[in-house]
Amino acid sequence: MYKTAYKISVDGKCQNFQDYLIEDRTITLHVNGKVFEQFHCLPEDLEELALGNLLYKGIKPIRWDFYQNDDQVYLKLHVFEKVSTQPLRNTNCVSAKVIIQAMNDMLEDPLHTMSGAVHIAGLYTNEGERLVRFEDVGRHNAVDKVIGWLAKNAIDPSYKILLCSGRLPFEMALKSVLAGVEILASKAPVMASAIDFSERFNLTLIGFVRENRLNVYTHPQRIKEVRL
């Protein structure tokens, strides 16, 4: 939606213009008839958001039904399994150049570029091919949508890279480990809690992917340019 706003400079000049605004909403998720979670989110790709949030809570959906009624979304789980954090395998190895180019591609998302008001998350192969890209007002929601897409489509997480636009705390690292994705990278900073967790669970954690560089904080053996 567009809204008339007024741009005022320090010298007192005032100019009205049409600004594009993100229409965020509060969505309630019901699982098997009970309220499970509320999301302040961009109200699209809600099945992926719900599935990704379930996995973050330790529930891996296997067979389910999904439907929506306005701001209420419903998951009926027919088959699921409980999951817990396990150290990741060492199957992936990728060039830093691929990660930098993938980040540049992800950040070219049209809504992100136009509004500056949404976070982005994406899943890429270790050759740099984009598999999926999601937008949301919250960085955690955007990552949950990627992880939910993995579950919805039964995609093998091996040889994949999870990218996002927001900072990386412990919770982001946990989401990547539960999804089975070995490399997590962001254009933003990495938090100490994420580093400690990633060390323990064999996750390659990367921050500050910007200006043709990146910082590798944990398990650098998966980055080709690192000489150990």
Residue-wise pLDDT for 31-86, tens only, equals 999 999 999 999 999 999 999 999 999 999 999 999 999 999 999 999 999 999 99
Residue 74: per-residue pLDDT: 98
What is residue 209's three-state secondary structure? strand
Percent of the chain residues topping a pLDDT of 70: 100
Q: With CA atoms as reference, report the closest residue to 200 among 166, 177, 224, 183.
A: 177
d(CA 91, CA 17): 51
First to last CA, the chain: 51
Inter-residue contact 184 to 172 (CB < 8 Å)? yes
Cα dihedral: 189, 194, 196, 202 (round 10): -110
